[in-house]
Amino acid sequence: MKTSFTALAIAACATLLASCSGKQEWIYFGNTKGDNISAILHEKDIVWYGTKKGLIKFDYKNEKRIMYNEASGLSDGDVKSIVIDKNGIKWIGTAIGLSTFDGTDIWNSFDISNPGFPSNLINEVTIDEKGIVWIASGAGVGQFDGTNWKTFNSTNGIMDAIVNAITHDGKGKVWIGTASTVECYDGQKWTAYDTTDSKTASMNVRNIHVSKKGNVWIGSSRGLLKFDGKNWTNYTTSNSGLPDNIVKGFTIDANDNKWIGTTKGLAKFDGSNWTIYNINNSKIPSDRINAVAADDNGNIWIGTEKDGLCVFKEGGVILEE
Using DSSP, state whether 20 is helix, strand or coil: helix
Q: Which residues of 284-320 are buried (b: 16+ CB within 10 A; e: fewer)?
A: bbbbbbbbbbbbeeebbbbbbbebbbbbbbbebbeee
Write out pLDDT tens, residues 111-158. Answer: 999 999 999 999 999 999 999 999 999 999 999 999 999 999 999 999
Q: Is the pLDDT of residue 9 over 60?
A: no
Average pLDDT, the chain: 92
Local confidence band at 22 (pLDDT 50, 70, 90 cut-offs):
low
- Where residue 3 falls among pLDDT bands split at 50, 70, 90? very low
Q: pLDDT band at 200, cuts 50/70/90?
A: confident
Report field, pTM of the whole predicted structure over 0.85: yes
pLDDT given at position 174: 98
User: Helix, strand, or coil here: 8?
Assistant: helix
Mean pLDDT of 186-210: 93
- Domain spans of the chain? 5-312
Whether the per-residue pLDDT at 6 is higher than 70: the answer is no
Q: What percent of the chain has pLDDT over 90?
A: 88
The whole-number pLDDT of residue 23 equals 85
* For residue 304, pLDDT beyond 80: yes
For the domain made up of 5-312, give the CATH fold.
Answer: Methylamine Dehydrogenase; Chain H (2.130.10)
Each residue of 253-281: pLDDT tens digit? 999 999 999 999 999 999 999 999 999 99
When pLDDT is averaged across residues 169-197 and rounded to a whole number, the result is: 95
Per-residue confidence (pLDDT) for residue 179, from 0 to 100: 92
User: For the purposes of burial, counting CB atoms within 10 Å of the CB of 197, is it exposed (0-12), middle (13-18) or buried (19 or more)?
Assistant: middle
